[in-house]
A and B are shown apart, each in its own frame.
Chain A
């Protein structure tokens, strides 16, 4: 097990590098419930320092990975040269191959590895989420109404891209990463790394200058970015609601908003929604139930509503 202090946020959450926002939201919730101080399941299992570190990392994960803009920055950071796994820790590849071969029934010993065959309880949900990427393809398939082009949510780019075999020595890849990617039987960390290298972000990196990024980690947790980062479409709200395991009926009961409104919001049936001033209140309460930032959700959603109907009558933009 990699020491917690050396795990990146994806490893802390046990989610793949290309996990959708919904999967991450769910993982953060699950982990926060699981490892909260005073949690029963970890009582006496961990020592206090580690417990605090984990709590902090989970906060960081929520702030960073759930915000597409911050996540993009973070991804760039960890795929950058600085993030090559600590080589001091890594024993020789041959040795690691031996260890790996020796723990065949025990994949999660290497929690940083993507878990294809993990018999985890969330397998079905995860599969489902992988089939329903946030953004473009999902909303196009589910809601064929032509009001707007599918929202170009950033995660979609990541999800749709096939997980190709590691490109032969990505030109921009730092030597450490390249060598690790070339040794698939390497230590725990390089498994993730090879995936990172294979990820579209990494393959696109040649377009951006591969200057070593020296941003210190805390920068990633920095204040929430401007709203342009996230497009809160009905589809995204639906996915997050489902990830939380809440039915439209339950939301409706808790928010005292009729189910029709909730379903119309999720389906982006703008023409059926109430006036913006009411809609805003509804969005705020839905966001509260989903533990999202209500202001951001409402603003983003209302902007899209306004945009869709702008040719005829621009709606008042609530601030």
Chain B
């Protein structure tokens, strides 16, 4: 519970480690035993399998002995419980948002799958679908303090600031892409919106807003690096810090419903194009082949990974989880070395 000590200020901006200043942190032995990781699943477009992906990643992690809480953060269109075959829970996020309960733990529902529980977003009151800023912050703070190894946030469609903020605070912001022009278009819109929101957050936190405004008034910037360079010319320290903060923006990419071998390749292509054109990185976690079984088990309201653990699509979830865990390990060893 060391995070509790962080106090009520929720950081929308992860402090990027300053090279050279790192060893000043507390003794490594005193590190918290549990490193809670926050994964959010987004992608801009609806119907691309965000909920199915959330549920099945959760199941896969739970099967590996991780304690996982799935959080249905699609506040206006919650349906994560359905993908798990759970009845509409009695207690949901609306109870928490309306402060009928004080802790998010009080609205956790077991899923019947060991190690996996659910915070349902199914809402009784329409109003709760649009929480105010303070409510959102409280929600995020509690999610980050959940007693679990992983919290997985199933995000809604669109690029609403709530969605973007959930995506940005996560350790892993997972971008789901279906190989269709509409989904690609929305994914790029989503990831660009998330990027510029992060830029804004950073500017806010560090007081760079006037600087950025004056820089951006002067010209239009196609890529973040161009912008950072221009800022650096005005204010090297600000530029360096901005660069460090923005480098932390690194979505993970999953391609869903891959039907052909070209579809399977599109993830790499998107990563390459994003790098070439935008100058930023994404981590490609893999693709989930299209499988009618997924649709069939959903129709039967049964969790796919439990019902059909051996089909290729099910095994693909294991690959994605492998990728996520590898990134965690890399991040941890990078932080201690």
Query: B272 and A34: CB pair below 8 A?
Result: yes
**Is A144 in contact with chain B by the CB < 8 A criterion?**
no
The one of A35, A44, A99 in contact with B243, judged by C-beta atoms closer than 8 angstroms, is A99
B residues near A91, Cβ cutoff 8 Å: 229, 232-233
Which partner residue on chain B sits nearest A100 by CB separation? B243
**Is B300 in contact with chain A by the CB < 8 A criterion?**
no
Query: B184 and A104: CB pair below 8 A?
Result: no
Q: Which of A41, A43, A44, A99 is most buried by chain B, counting CB atoms within 10 A of its CB?
A: A41
Given A1-B223, A105-B247, residue A43 in contact with residue B281 (CB < 8 A):
no
Instruction: Scan residues 275-303 of chain A and give those whose CB is less than 8 A from a CB of chain B.
Output: none
**Is B98 in contact with chain A by the CB < 8 A criterion?**
no
**Is A98 in contact with chain B by the CB < 8 A criterion?**
yes
**Is B309 in contact with chain A by the CB < 8 A criterion?**
no
Chain B binder among A63-71, A106-114, A145-153, A250-258: A106-114
Secondary structure type dominating chain B contacts: helix
CA of A41 to CA of B180, assembled, Å: 9
Query: A45 and B274: CB pair below 8 A?
Result: yes
CA of A95 to CA of B233, assembled, Å: 7
Given A102-B239, A102-B247, residue A40 in contact with residue B181 (CB < 8 A):
yes
B residues near A1, Cβ cutoff 8 Å: 223, 225-226, 276-279
Which partner residue on chain A sits nearest B276 by CB separation? A111
Cβ contacts B212-231/A at 8 Å (1 or 0 each): 00000000001101101100
Query: B225 and A109: CB pair below 8 A?
Result: yes
A residues near B184, Cβ cutoff 8 Å: 40-41, 43-44
Query: B281 and A106: CB pair below 8 A?
Result: yes
Query: A43 and B239: CB pair below 8 A?
Result: no
Chain A interface size range: 20 to 34
**Is B293 in contact with chain A by the CB < 8 A criterion?**
no
**Is B319 in contact with chain A by the CB < 8 A criterion?**
no
Query: B241 and A102: CB pair below 8 A?
Result: yes
Given A95-B236, A99-B240, residue A39 in contact with residue B19 (CB < 8 A):
no
Given A102-B244, A103-B244, A104-B247, residue A42 in contact with residue B277 (CB < 8 A):
yes
A residues near B188, Cβ cutoff 8 Å: 43-45
Chain B interface size range: 35 or more
CA of A7 to CA of B244, assembled, Å: 25
CA of A101 to CA of B232, assembled, Å: 13
Instruction: Scan residues 68-119 of chain A and give those whose CB is less than 8 A from a CB of chain B.
Output: 91, 95, 98-99, 101-106, 108-109, 111
Query: B273 and A34: CB pair below 8 A?
Result: yes
Which partner residue on chain A sits nearest B181 by CB separation? A43
CA of A3 to CA of B189, assembled, Å: 21
B residues near A109, Cβ cutoff 8 Å: 225, 247, 279-280
Please give the distance in Å from B291's CB to the nearest CB on chain A. Answer: 21
Chain A binder among B87-95, B146-154, B263-271: B263-271
**Is B179 in contact with chain A by the CB < 8 A criterion?**
yes
B residues near A313, Cβ cutoff 8 Å: none
Query: A103 and B277: CB pair below 8 A?
Result: no
Which partner residue on chain B sits nearest A41 by CB separation? B269
Please give the distance in Å from B220's CB to the nearest CB on chain A. Answer: 11
**Is B275 in contact with chain A by the CB < 8 A criterion?**
yes
Given A44-B185, A101-B19, residue A121 in contact with residue B232 (CB < 8 A):
no
Please give the distance in Å from A16's CB to the nearest CB on chain B. Answer: 16
Query: A102 and B268: CB pair below 8 A?
Result: no
Please give the distance in Å from A221's CB to the nearest CB on chain B. Answer: 22
Query: B19 and A104: CB pair below 8 A?
Result: yes
Given A44-B188, A46-B277, A108-B281, residue A34 in contact with residue B269 (CB < 8 A):
yes
Cβ contacts B170-197/A at 8 Å (1 or 0 each): 0000000001110011001100000000
Please give the distance in Å from A1's CB to the nearest CB on chain B. Answer: 4
Query: B247 and A106: CB pair below 8 A?
Result: yes
Query: A108 and B273: CB pair below 8 A?
Result: no
Q: Which of B189, B239, B269 is most buried by chain A, counting CB atoms within 10 A of its CB?
A: B269
CA of A47 to CA of B176, assembled, Å: 23
Given A41-B273, A45-B277, residue A103 in contact with residue B247 (CB < 8 A):
yes
Instruction: Scan residues 40-62 of chain A and give those whose CB is less than 8 A from a CB of chain B.
Output: 40-46, 50
Query: A102 and B243: CB pair below 8 A?
Result: yes
Which partner residue on chain A sits nearest B245 by CB separation? A102
A residues near B272, Cβ cutoff 8 Å: 34, 41
Q: List 15 A-B contacts (CB under 8 A).
A: A1-B225, A1-B278, A33-B269, A40-B266, A41-B184, A41-B272, A42-B277, A43-B185, A45-B274, A45-B278, A95-B232, A95-B239, A104-B19, A109-B225, A109-B279
Known contacts A1-B226, A40-B180; 16 additional CB pairs below 8 A are A1-B225, A3-B222, A40-B181, A40-B184, A41-B266, A43-B185, A43-B188, A44-B189, A95-B232, A101-B240, A102-B228, A102-B244, A105-B247, A108-B275, A109-B225, A109-B279
Which residues does B use to contact A, with CB under 8 Å? Answer: 19, 179-181, 184-185, 188-189, 222-223, 225-226, 228-229, 232-233, 236, 239-244, 247-248, 250, 266, 268-270, 272-281, 284
Which residues does A use to contact B, with CB under 8 Å? Answer: 1, 3, 14, 33-35, 39-46, 50, 91, 95, 98-99, 101-106, 108-109, 111, 121
